[in-house]
Amino acid sequence: MEHQTQMLIVMIIYMAFIIFLGFYQGKKVKTGSDFAIAGRKLPGWIAALSERATGESSWALLGLPGAAYATGLLEIWTAIGCVAGIIFAWILLAWRLRDAAEKHEVDTFTDYIAKSHGEAGRWLRITGSFTIVFFFFFYVGAQFIGGGKTLENLFGIEKIYGMLIVVGLVIPYTIYGGFRSVTYTDAVQAIIMIITLIIAPIAGIIYLSNLPEGAAFASGISEALTKSGDSYSTLTGGAVLQEDSSLHNFLNGIFPNMSGIITGLGTGIIIAGAFSWFFGYLGGQPQLSMRFMAITDAKEAKKARNIGVAWTIIAYIGALMIGWIGIALFGPAGLSDQETVMPEVLTTLFHPVIAGILITGVLAAIISTANSLLILSSTELSENIIKPLRKNDIGQKTSLRLSRIVTAALSLVALVLAYYSSGDMIYTIVGYVWAGIGSTFSVVILLTLFWKKFHGIAALCTIISGLLFTIIWISTGMDEIITSRLLTFIVALVIAVLTTIFVKKKDLTV
């Protein structure tokens, strides 16, 4: 109980600082553009840290360490896919998206796509915005559920009350300061996250080396992986197919009684599925691309690139090591919930006050994603759908007031949705987001930037076909055989190329 009290005090102090910072930055928001994209005047270091906090959130602190704890070295392939995608985005896309946003004077993600393909801009704006708002309702709801579960596990608070607490922490300063408040508070979250991911592995290695023999499952990472068996200690050992798995049955139907081919193909498909996170980072995640677009100038974009790449490499190494240290401490079957390995490791290694600060980083990461998704959805809805429907132009104050009202309304809808929906359904929809939105819009962004012949009709067909394919593929259970993150990208790319070549560019603005 004493430890819980200490952690609670630390958490209250930390969140009070975050709320203060959010409202302080919100005072500088004067226009709708300030609210939506910080007036495209974001310093490089803020953009980089905010993009990383939003992009990784609870994934880097709970999901990836949990996966490394569950599968050992196999999870390296997931890390390679993510890191490769993030580095690709920062080196090849970030400055191009920044320059394009400045050229077209855009305030939202779909605004950029629409203005880049003016002949179909109206339909791209409507289709893109409705798609993002619909799916991100569930994405925001998932963050509320995740925050509620975190508070429930830490302090025994009922999940619904935990969700209300998270909403109470996120909504006020997000409504007040919009994108600017969100990005500056995200930067603090990213600093806490990277400190956690640096300190914990170092402390874990030292702690294990000083333990008496037999006091833990193993005295180091290497020994822990070896003792856990081949499925943990090799890059492909964890990819052995279960004989009754969907993938095994699918391959056996194609290659009956050919176990060698089935094993080889199955291993390759599993590794490719782990690597496939790569495709969602190629400009297709609106909440990340908006950070690129908001950077103030080319010099700051280079600074942001260096920070973003360095943060990513360090963070992913740290997250994997924490999972493997968890194996050494508790054994491969020592935890009933694999995604609790991070807080379990932290509370084992550190004094409650220090552990409280670092564990607060988990909640902070969830909050950083929730408010980023919320502000993205509200600006897409208000800037691209509601405001264009008004017959008369509105002033800056009215525009800002409308953006804030939409943000408040969407947050309440997301909370109600989270309360009445099952967690399984919400997290399934989140899977649609990464594949359907991430992989589909990645194709649209890449071809818009790098292929001059790519036009609005092709972009519209790509968005619709990518989303429909993802929904059909996942809802029919085929995602358990081959991940839609990979196939959606391939399908969307093929549709984009074929429609660009065989469908003539037409004006759809009327």
- Quick check: 252 pLDDT over 80? no
Top-confidence residue, 249 or 479? 479
pTM for this model (two decimals): 0.89
Q: How many domains does the chain have?
A: 1
391 occurs within a structural domain: yes
Top-confidence residue, 323 or 419? 323
150 occurs within a structural domain: yes
483 occurs within a structural domain: no
Average pLDDT over residues 387-399: 71
What are φ and ψ of residue 42, in 5° steps? Answer: -85, 130
pLDDT at 181: 93
- Quick check: 357 pLDDT over 70? yes
pLDDT at 267: 67
The answer to whether residues 224 and 324 touch, using CB atoms and an 8 Å cutoff, is yes
The whole-angstrom separation of Cα 135 and Cα 433 is 6
Best-predicted range by mean pLDDT (45-49, 53-57, 103-107, 396-400)? 45-49
pLDDT at 104: 92
- The whole domain housing 103 covers 2-238+275-421
- Which amino acid is residue 414, in one-letter code? A
What are φ and ψ of residue 132, in 5° steps? Answer: -65, -45
What are φ and ψ of residue 330, in 5° steps? Answer: -115, -10
Residue labelled with tokens 């196939």: 487
431 occurs within a structural domain: no
The whole-angstrom separation of Cα 320 and Cα 60 is 9
pLDDT at 289: 95
How is 425-467 classified by DSSP, letter by letter?
HHHHHHHHIIIIIIIHHHHHHHHHHH-TT--HHHHHHHHHHHH
- Quick check: 201 pLDDT over 70? yes
pLDDT at 47: 96
Give 9's contacts (C-beta < 8 A, 6+ positions apart): 356
493 occurs within a structural domain: no
Where residue 298 sits, what CATH number does that domain have?
Answer: 1.20.1730.10
The whole-angstrom separation of Cα 20 and Cα 193 is 20
The whole-angstrom separation of Cα 29 and Cα 378 is 16
- Which candidate, 125, 118, 162, 120, places its Cα nearest to that of 144? 162
The pLDDT-based confidence of 242 (bands split at 50, 70, 90) is: low
257 occurs within a structural domain: no
Percent of the chain with pLDDT over 70: 89
281 occurs within a structural domain: yes
116 occurs within a structural domain: yes
Top-confidence residue, 149 or 131? 131
Is the alpha carbon torsion for 316, 46, 436, 136 positive or negative? positive
> Distances from the Cα of 475 to the Cαs of 269, 333, 425, 438, 495, in angstroms?
20, 32, 11, 18, 21
The whole-angstrom separation of Cα 208 and Cα 250 is 43
Strand blocks (E) in 340-492? none
The answer to whether residues 111 and 388 touch, using CB atoms and an 8 Å cutoff, is no
Mean pLDDT of the chain: 86
The answer to whether residues 233 and 226 touch, using CB atoms and an 8 Å cutoff, is yes
- Long-range CB contacts (< 8 A, 24+ apart) of 412-419? 413/137, 414/137, 414/140, 414/141, 414/144, 414/374, 415/141, 415/144, 415/163, 415/164, 415/167, 417/137, 417/138, 417/141, 418/140, 418/141, 418/142, 418/144, 418/145, 418/163, 419/160, 419/163
pLDDT at 112: 95
- Which candidate, 348, 409, 325, 10, places its Cα nearest to that of 192? 10
Average pLDDT over residues 224-242: 76
